[in-house]
Structure 1
């Protein structure tokens, strides 16, 4: 029985530990994505409106709208109409631009959100022209970088939390059922049989009657002769 109760307790402890790891991992991953993994401006920035040069490697790059904010951006950073012009060096094909809006990241009133993805055919330094309706924004610019966030880790820890919660609920249910479990059918149980009362033997009856006769003689209710006569009669009855 002790071993049967230990298993649910172990599962409860493991489930709680899983939940703790999931929560800590979720928070740490969010922090790392915001402060360490995020490389949205790795290749440089160009003011809006304005021009500049950005050195882009071959492969995929991102273009983000980057600005300072005063109020909250909990509902997402509003992206104004923007214009992007890319002039590649001679002999280098122009990068392919694909609209791709991402989520807003805000750190100390500094906000950015991905607007485009670029497929860069060759590594080179590109001339960039940025424009748009950015009245009301503080120091708006286009940031060129690449995705380095580990959002799959965030989802992994979120899934781990769900698994831990399900395991915890199951283990608690298991422990409660174990606590209400009846004793096994084969377990010995104390029983008392009161249907067969004690029946004294014939010798026991004669012994009690002799004691009674002796008490009568000692009290004077019987003489010695009467006692002896009754004793012989009792012994003869027992022998018969």
Structure 2
């Protein structure tokens, strides 16, 4: 049973440590991916309104609206109406453009939010044309990029947190099982020794006579004996 308690204690400590590391790591990585490691403009930008040429790799590209703001924008940041066309190189199919709004991210008054996801069929130079109702926005642009290369780390820390939770559950199950198998001490009372604990009492002849007289008095008082009968029995008991 001591071994079970030791294992349960080890699982509890390791579980708590893993949950702390996993939780903190998950939050830190999410913050780094959003504010430091974000590659939303890795392939370049095109002003709104305007046009340009960008070298895009094959695969998925994240397309974001990028602008500067004064102060900290709220969750109700107004996204302008935008128009975008992507003209592929000769002989290449048109990219598939899908509306896919993301989370607003602001770093030092620099704000961007994902608007589209594009499936680029082949690597090459693509002509980009952007337009929209962007009056009032500071230096509005359409940015082409991709998600952070370290996005997988948040799932690694999530897995660490999950393993810590499993350790804690295992320690609780083990502790409950060890308590359930613990032998119960039976407390039995020692046998009573009537001779040792309570020495026997042997009444004397005088004591017997006194008890008999008390009985007679009770019978007389209750009317079961007359006074004459009481006197006769009394003389017999006393030997008169």
Q: Which runs of 5+ in 2 are unaligned?
A: 198-240
2:38 aligned partner: 38
Structure 2 Cα separation of the partners of residues 151 and 16 of structure 1: 24
Deviation at 1:120, TM superposition (A): 2.0
Deviations 1:168-219 (A, max 9, x none): 467468658867x79624x6979644426559xxxxxxxxxxxxxxxxxxxx
Structure 1 Cα separation of the partners of residues 73 and 175 of structure 2: 46
1:154 aligned partner: 154
Structure 1 Cα separation of the partners of residues 109 and 41 of structure 2: 17
Structure 2 Cα separation of the partners of residues 169 and 123 of structure 1: 50
Asked if residue 97 in structure 1 is aligned to residue 102 in structure 2, the reply is no
Q: Which runs of 5+ in 1 are unaligned?
A: 200-240
SS of match in other structure, 2:11? helix
2:84 aligned partner: 84
Structure 1 Cα separation of the partners of residues 176 and 89 of structure 2: 73
Quick one: structure 1 residues 15 and 74, their matched pair in 2 at CA, closer, same or farther if it must change by over 3 Å? farther
Normalised by the size of structure 2, how large is the TM-score?
Answer: 0.66
Deviations 1:14-47 (A, max 9, x none): 2111112212321332144135542211110011
Quick one: structure 1 residues 145 and 169, their matched pair in 2 at CA, closer, same or farther if it must change by over 3 Å? same
Asked if residue 48 in structure 1 is aligned to residue 14 in structure 2, the reply is no
1:25 aligned partner: 25
Structure 1 Cα separation of the partners of residues 155 and 86 of structure 2: 35
Deviations 1:66-112 (A, max 9, x none): 11223434526432110112233444433222212122222222221
2:231 aligned partner: none
Structure 1 Cα separation of the partners of residues 89 and 4 of structure 2: 74
1:185-200 alignment runs, 5 A limit: 185=184, 192-195=190-193, 197=195
Structure 1 Cα separation of the partners of residues 114 and 182 of structure 2: 65
Normalised by the size of structure 1, how large is the TM-score?
Answer: 0.66
Structure 2 Cα separation of the partners of residues 89 and 52 of structure 1: 13
1:184 aligned partner: 183
Q: Which moved more, 1:93-102 or 1:139-148?
A: 93-102
Deviation at 1:61, TM superposition (A): 1.6
Quick one: structure 1 residues 166 and 69, their matched pair in 2 at CA, closer, same or farther if it must change by over 3 Å? farther
Structure 1 contact 98–117 (Cα < 8 Å) conserved = yes
